[in-house]
A and B are shown apart, each in its own frame.
Chain A
Amino acid sequence: MAIPLRKVRDRVRGRLNDTDARKPTFVVPQLDSAICDAYLALSSMLPAPMLYTASAFTISAGAETFALPTAATTGWTGGDGQAEYAGLVDIQLASTGTYLQHISMQQMHAIRDGSPTVLTAKPERYALYEASDQTVNGYCYPGAKVAEVCNLFRTLAYDDLRDYVGASTDDLDDVEVQFSRLGVAALVQYAASGLLASMVKEDAELRRLDKSVAASWRKEAEELAYREAMRRHNLEDPGQVQRWEA
Chain B
Amino acid sequence: MAVLTYSEIQNLALDRAQANVTTDAPFSSAEIARFINDAYADVWEIAGGSVKLADSATAWASTATAVGTIQGALSDINEVLHIYAVSSAALQSIACTTNSTTTVTSSALFGSVTIGMLVSGSGIPAGAVVTAVASTSSLTISKAATSGTTPTLVFTKIVDAAELDRVEYAQLLHYRGVQGYGTYANPKICSVERASTETATGVNLFRLDYWPGVTGFYFPISYIPQFTPIDSATITTPDVNDLESRDISLLTAARMCPLIGRAEFVPSILADVSSRTAATLERKMQALMSGDQDK
Contacts and interface: CB of A to CB of B under 8 A. Distances in A.
A23 B166 contact: yes
Interface residues of B, number: 18
B229 to A, nearest CB: 28
Contacts of B183: 164, 170-172
B207 interface: no
Contact of A171 (B163, B181, B186): B186
Nearest to A22: B166
Contact of A21 (B164, B175, B185): B164
Interface in B157-177: 163-167, 171, 175
Interface in A25-49: 27-29, 32-33, 36
Contacts of B182: 29, 32-33, 36, 161-162, 164, 172, 175
A4 interface: no
Given A22-B166, A23-B166, A29-B175, A171 B189 contact: no
Interface in A52-104: none
A130 interface: no
Nearest to B212: A29
A21 B171 CA distance: 15
A29 B179 CA distance: 11
A171 B185 contact: yes
Contacts of B188: 27-29
Residue from B81, B166, B183, B188 with most neighbouring chain A CB atoms (10 Å): B183
Contacts of A170: 183, 185
Given A32-B181, A33-B181, A162-B181, A22 B186 contact: no
Interface in A166-199: 169-173, 175
Interface residues of A, number: 19
A24 interface: yes
B99 to A, nearest CB: 37
Contacts of B81: 22
Nearest to A5: B182
A6 to B, nearest CB: 9
Interface in B172-227: 175, 180-186, 188-189
B86 to A, nearest CB: 15
A33 B180 CA distance: 9
Nearest to A19: B163
Contacts of A32: 181-182
B163 A21 contact: yes
B181 A29 contact: yes
Contacts of A24: 165-167
Interface in B36-58: none
A7 to B, nearest CB: 13
A104 to B, nearest CB: 38
A115 to B, nearest CB: 48
Residue from A21, A23, A36, A161 with most neighbouring chain B CB atoms (10 Å): A21
Contacts of A29: 175, 181-182, 188-189
B262 interface: no
B276 interface: no
B82 interface: yes
A28 B166 contact: no
Contacts of A173: 184-186
Nearest to A26: B165
Interface of B: 81-82, 163-167, 171, 175, 180-186, 188-189
29 contacts: A21-B82, A21-B163, A21-B164, A21-B166, A22-B166, A27-B167, A27-B188, A27-B189, A28-B184, A28-B188, A28-B189, A29-B182, A29-B188, A29-B189, A32-B181, A33-B181, A36-B182, A162-B180, A162-B181, A162-B182, A164-B182, A169-B185, A170-B185, A171-B183, A171-B185, A171-B186, A172-B184, A173-B185, A173-B186
Interface of A: 21-24, 27-29, 32-33, 36, 161-162, 164, 169-173, 175
Which 10 residue pairs across A and B have the least CB separation, nearest first? A172-B182, A171-B185, A28-B188, A27-B165, A21-B163, A29-B181, A162-B182, A24-B165, A170-B183, A27-B189
Given A21-B164, A23-B166, 4 more contacts: A28-B188, A29-B175, A164-B182, A172-B183
